[in-house]
Structure 1
Amino acid sequence: MTELFFITGMGVLTAVALWWGFRHLPREKWQIMAVVPRHKTEQGWQGLNLTYYGVLCANAYTVAVVLFLILATSARISLSGLCVFITGVLAVCLPASRIIARVVEKKKGTLTVGGAVFAGILVSPLLVLLINRVFEPVMATPLHPLILLSAVSIAYAFGEGLGRLACISFGCCYGKPLDQCPPVIQTLFSRFYLIFTGPLKKITYASGYDGQKVVPVQIITAALSTGTGLAGTLLFLNGFYRTAFLVTLAVTQIWRFVSEFLRADFRGGRRITAYQIMALVTLGFAGALALGLPVDNNSLPQPRLQEAVSALWTPWMILFVQGIWAASFFHTGKSEVTGSRIFFHVEKPHI
């Protein structure tokens, strides 16, 4: 019964978040959250723009981390080992999201979730082996590769889905204009589309599609990824670790490959993009891992959700999660492609 309430609650909250994002985030006002003065010039103060993109990315990262911790600790995996694992994965994935995007797209100030996932899946098995070897004396139980990878893939599905709200806010990762699509696509999305407004949206300054109806790729990705994450969570909590891992990775990576054909933002100069190749490699590598890991299902622990929630409700774990949010926002929230000037004055009638 606890598992049912948990999954239902996640589904309801996710649906509300996606509906709100679909309705509001394409508007101009939901891009710049705040401006911080940096230094004074003759034209006023030069400002640093802090974005809702950063807030929504940090929210997505944090939800993914919390879900990962809940699932993994429900299977009685060492909490201290999990924190080391999360720190290691983020230390690889956060810079990889910039480096891979810069290599593929030849642009500064851009990020890629696909590249970060590609790097994360490749490094995770090696990180598990390293942590088990180095921290074995202080961990209550070792990190089990299959359980850990299953929890990672489910958390990634949720992070991918909720992270697309950030893309809507910034106007990136956008779909093709409907009037440039084949008739079947135009008919399919005749009532379900996105319209972005504002000169600072990437869809405007990069492609000039301000105010046009475009294929809602971000919302489709968000709904499909979070729905897959819910299905994976259900499988995980019933002990089907291998199936949860394969289902979540297969659906998210196949859709990543397909969705590239519906996108209009620059993804490299080739018909089959580097990100599509990464998705296929990720899928193949994950499949080989899942099928190659020797596992005795009778030896794997059955998840206990209540134990996980109580284990995480401690001051140091709350601080750890808050630190994840702050680090994520610091990494993604500072806009490098927009600027601002700030002017201050005294309101004399109020003196």
Structure 2
Amino acid sequence: MGKRMMIDEILVGGMALAYIVILVWSCRVLPGERWQVLATMPLAKNEQGWWRGLNITYYGFFQACAFTAALSVMLVMLGSVRMGVLETLSAPLLLLAVCVPASKLVARLVEKKPQTLTVAGASFVGLVLCPWLILGTDALLERRGSFVMPILAAVAVSYAFGEGLGRLACISFGCCYGKPLDACSPLIRRLFRNRGFVFTGDTKKIAYAGGPAGRPVIPVQALTSGICVGVGLIGFYLFLRGWFTCAFLLVILVTQGWRAYSETLRDDFRGGGKVTAYQWMAAGAVVYGGLTALWAPAPPALTPDVVVGLSGLWNPAPLLGLEALWLIILVYYGRSKVTASTIRFHVVQSEV
């Protein structure tokens, strides 16, 4: 028991250290103009000899990394309680099939913009459907005992990781931006003095949406990232200790509570009304999560073993599946429809 606890603590500590390095780097470089477009693919040539290009954004890259990391964490957690591959993959794949399109649909309904995405809306839809999807897969797979709470805890923790890491995408694209510091209270200005984000580049969303580009703003994306990944790490550790309900409730309360509050720090359009639709969703998620925890049947006696979970992940099938997911998410979220590019190729004569 003591050795297993030490392994858990080393793993969680290593993950925390790696994340801190990534977050510090992201806060320093991603607000710059250089870190919006990852690559450009030439599509068609015009009469002047220029190519029209399709931009692949760092937004898509970071979202792909966030989705893949979140699913990896979920597979490790569910593998640690010795769930089979089919059992492990059924719930997350169904959730992804629902939540990825929901990120566009909910944003379109709330913000009335066809190319906007929302993690808040997608996560709310996922939380509402998740218990019923788990019950359905329990019945189809004729699973002994109820795995509702362990799977819910794993989904909640992986969501926290995905939400937190996905906010790095928002920094690179200049979306989900905070209020300008010069328009905030003296307390907020003191807290974030010399720590605000300054976004540069005309193609950043903060610029083309008429936001405070070039001015220090509240680094709300970084705050959300740190809080979500931080509570995700705590929830991950609680899961490995077998405290599934605690992990689920803690993650839901912190992530959704922060979402409701962080809306007051943002300067981008979030729909009409003093209380936004996303704040109502966050409040509803807390209530729904609490009721789900009360209703969920007790799981069978389970002792998570993270080594078993990691060994299950280190196999060709899940690794190839994660690589495929990364590519799909990169293409889905990375193709920019709100920016364009023109390209011209030439030969460097001095190198011929």
Q: Same fold (TM over 0.5)?
A: yes
SS of residue paired to 1:207: coil
Within the candidate set 187, 192, 199, 1:189 is matched to 192
Partner in structure 2 of residue 102 of structure 1: 108
What is the match of residue 179 of structure 1? 182
2:30 maps to 1:29: no
Say if 2:156 and 2:252, in contact at 8 Å, map to a contact too: yes
Alignment-derived partner of residue 20 in structure 1: 25
Give the conservation status (yes or no) of the 8 Å contact 2:42–2:51.
Answer: yes
Q: 1:84 aligns with which of 69, 80, 90?
A: 90
Contact 2:92 2:155 in 1 (8 A): no
Confirm or deny that 1:70 pairs with 2:83.
no
How far apart are 1:239 and its partner, in Å?
Answer: 0.9
The alignment partner of 2:209 has SS state of helix
Q: TM-score, normalised by structure 1?
A: 0.95
1:212 aligns with 2:215: yes
Secondary structure class of the residue paired with 1:35? strand
SS class of match (1:306) = helix
1:45 maps to a residue whose letter is W
The Cα of 1:285 is off from its aligned counterpart by 0.8
Q: Number of paired residues? A: 346
Instruction: Measure how far apart 1:302 and its partner are.
Output: 1.1
1:239 aligns with 2:242: yes
Counting aligned pairs with the same residue, the percent is 45
Q: 2:265 aligns with which of 262, 265, 277?
A: 262
CA displacement at 1:60 relative to structure 2 = 0.5
* Maintained 8 Å contact 1:177/1:213: yes
Q: Distance between the aligned counterparts of 2:213 and 2:344, measured in 1?
A: 28
State the 1:143 CA deviation.
Answer: 6.5
Q: 2:122 aligns with which of 116, 126, 129?
A: 116
2:8 is matched with which residue: 3, 7, 31? 3
1:78–1:143 contact (8 Å) kept in structure 2: no
2:36–2:58 contact (8 Å) kept in structure 1: yes
Which residues in structure 2 correspond to 1:315-330 (within 5 Å)?
315-330=316-331
1:77–1:143 Cα contact (<8 Å) kept: no
- Looking at structure 2, the residues matched to 69 and 34 of structure 1 have their Cα atoms a distance apart, in angstroms, of 31
SS at 1:98 equivalent? helix
Q: Secondary structure at the match of 2:40?
A: strand
Work out whether 1:46 is the aligned partner of 2:52. Answer: yes
Q: Distance in 2 between matches of 1:276 and 1:323?
A: 34
SS in 1 for 2:39: strand
Amino acid at match of 2:29: H
One-letter code of the match for 1:310? S
Alignment root-mean-square deviation, CA: 1.4
* Cα drift, residue 83 of structure 1: 1.3
Moved more, 14-23 or 184-193: 184-193
The alpha-carbon distance between structure 1 residues 187 and 349, as it changes in their structure 2 partners (threshold 3 A), is closer
Which residue of 2 is the match for residue 169 of structure 1? 172
Q: Which amino acid is 1:239 matched to? A: G
Q: C-alpha offsets along residues 279-311 of structure 1, whole Å, 9 cap, x if unaligned?
A: 111111111001121316xx3201011111112
User: What is the DSSP-based 3-state SS (H/G/I as helix, E as strand, rest coil) of the residue aligned with 1:195?
Assistant: coil
Gaps of 5+ in 1: none
Task: Tell me the alpha carbon deviations over residues 310-333 of structure 1, each in whole angstroms, 9 at most, x when there is no partner.
Answer: 122111111011111111111111
- The answer (yes or no) to whether the contact 1:61–1:325 under 8 Å persists in 2 is yes
Structure 2 unmatched runs, 5+: 1-5
Partner residue, 1:347:
348
